[in-house]
């Protein structure tokens, strides 16, 4: 039986490689596994050998110690790989298939899954609706920054690429289908982006850049990306966005410099709870600053897509309210302007097949837009450290050396 070198969270700022053991078709006890999930049979699952497994900003929140993630948790929810084993109840997925694994774990059987809301499946996580690989409070399913990973409900969850050689030639683009491309796209769809829209996207990290790509793909007339990191803003400029440094003023003021008016049709929050202030107030965390700025900058009747992560437990928050996810949001402003807010994880399965088709038919190059950068699994710590320092890159781990040079 092969080993299973895996990237694990060992405390704030500390990731280590350990042998987590080769997966079985059962969910064993381990870090973060709810008692109700211990011993759960996964006859419907597949064991996947990751070809590409990405570092996500959501992983970074945990590694910074900004969640209640348990020590020893195997990280990684952005998994693309080859099926090496299938459980006895799997009928469609076959050994040798190259697949994209949605970061949402969904059963396909419950009321929410049948409604297409696979991000809030009712059966994979006893604690609350919604499950994910390698993430805090998401059911205890081990992550895929590893040599092997168990993926439950394989026939339902896994997206098979139709041609292996074609997929491997575009593997860095396809690796973004597990999370950030659908998440950015979902943010834009939720915000009502369409032909001729003016759009403000808060955050030029990988999800924000994926949202910017999506907004252009959906036909937006002007896409304005705001961030404090000039290297990331330059990434947005490279593929046709306007980019503004929010350290130089409030977003509405900067939007007015671009559009001539201080408001946009649609807005996307790709920052989340670790937001900082704007203008002269960037040195301090202001977890509600982005949401409040988007309400002030989006026209009356506009929509706000909010794929940026907000949590119910933040041990590193600056005040007691924020530690419980309570933020000083100007909800009255949003109410007065009749804004629509769409929050929560992206239901990846709603979008990933059609986004796969756009990649395979050369309609979009998402890997270039987010500056995908490949590292071996053994350099995961380096990836986390550089990403934490603001590197304008999307780090893709290659556990088996399978990604073409």
Q: Per residue in 34-64, pLDDT tens?
A: 999 999 999 999 999 999 999 999 999 999 9
pLDDT at 284: 86
241 and 157, same structural domain? no
pLDDT at 280: 86
- Pair 352, 182: CB distance under 8 Å: yes
pLDDT at 2: 86
pLDDT at 302: 98
pLDDT at 249: 96
pLDDT at 372: 98
Q: Note the pLDDT tens digit of each residue in 16-33.
A: 999 999 999 999 999 999
329 and 241, same structural domain? yes
375 and 273, same structural domain? no
Last residue of a domain, one of 343, 358, 378: 343
pLDDT at 37: 98
- Pair 77, 324: CB distance under 8 Å: no
172 and 35, same structural domain? yes
Residue 405 lies in a domain: no
* pLDDT less than 70: residues of the chain: 1
pLDDT at 391: 96
Look up the CATH number of the domain holding residue 15: 3.90.180.10
Q: CA 278 to CA 227: how far, in whole Å? A: 9
- Pair 13, 64: CB distance under 8 Å: yes
365 and 285, same structural domain? no
Q: Which of 114, 67, 83, 85 is nearest to 25 (CA)?
A: 85
Last residue of a domain, one of 343, 365, 384: 343
Helix (H) / strand (E) element for 227: namely strand 222-227
297 and 285, same structural domain? yes
Residue 403 lies in a domain: no
221 and 153, same structural domain? no
* Full domain range(s) for residue 258: 180-343
Question: Looking at the whole model, is its pTM more than 0.85?
Answer: yes
User: How many domains in the chain?
Assistant: 2
């Amino acid at each position: 039986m092969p080993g299973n070198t895996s990237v694990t969270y060992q405390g704030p700022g500390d990731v280590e490689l350990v042998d987590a053991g080769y997966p079985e078709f059962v969910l064993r006890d381990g870090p973060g596994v709810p008692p109700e999930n211990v011993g759960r049979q996964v006859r419907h699952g597949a064991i996947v050998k990751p070809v590409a497994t990405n570092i996500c900003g959501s992983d970074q929140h945990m590694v910074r110690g900004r969640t209640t993630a348990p020590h020893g948790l195997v990280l990684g929810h952005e998994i693309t790989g080859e099926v090496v084993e299938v459980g006895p109840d799997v009928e469609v997925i076959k050994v040798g298939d190259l697949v994209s694994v949605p970061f949402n774990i969904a059963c396909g059987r419950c009321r929410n899954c049948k409604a297409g809301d696979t991000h809030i499946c009712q059966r994979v996580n006893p604690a609350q609706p919604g499950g994910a690989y390698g993430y805090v409070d998401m059911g205890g399913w081990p992550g895929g920054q590893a040599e092997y990973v168990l993926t439950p409900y394989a026939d339902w969850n896994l997206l098979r690429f139709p041609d292996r050689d074609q997929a491997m030639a575009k593997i860095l683009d396809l690796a973004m289908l597990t999370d950030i491309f659908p998440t950015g796209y979902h943010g834009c769809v939720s915000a009502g982006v369409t032909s001729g829209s003016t759009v403000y996207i808060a955050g030029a990290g990988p999800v924000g850049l994926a949202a910017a790509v999506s907004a252009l793909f959906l036909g937006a007339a002007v896409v304005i990306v705001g961030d404090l990191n000039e290297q990331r803003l330059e990434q947005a400029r490279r593929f046709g966005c306007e980019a503004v440094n929010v350290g130089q003023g409030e977003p509405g003021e900067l939007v007015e410099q671009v559009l001539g008016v201080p408001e946009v049709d649609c807005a996307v929050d790709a920052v989340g709870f670790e937001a900082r202030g704007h203008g002269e107030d960037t040195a301090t965390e202001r977890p509600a600053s982005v949401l409040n700025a988007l309400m002030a900058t989006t026209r009356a009747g506009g929509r706000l897509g909010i794929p940026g992560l907000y949590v119910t437990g933040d041990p590193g928050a600056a005040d007691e309210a924020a530690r419980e996810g309570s933020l000083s949001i100007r909800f009255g402003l949003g109410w007065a302007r009749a804004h629509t807010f769409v929050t929560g994880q992206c239901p990846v399965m709603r979008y990933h097949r059609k986004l796969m088709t756009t990649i395979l038919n050369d309609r979009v190059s998402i890997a270039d837009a987010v500056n995908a950068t490949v590292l071996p699994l053994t350099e995961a710590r380096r990836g986390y450290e550089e990403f934490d320092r603001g590197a304008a890159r999307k780090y893709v781990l290659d556990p088996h050396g399978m990604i073409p040079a």
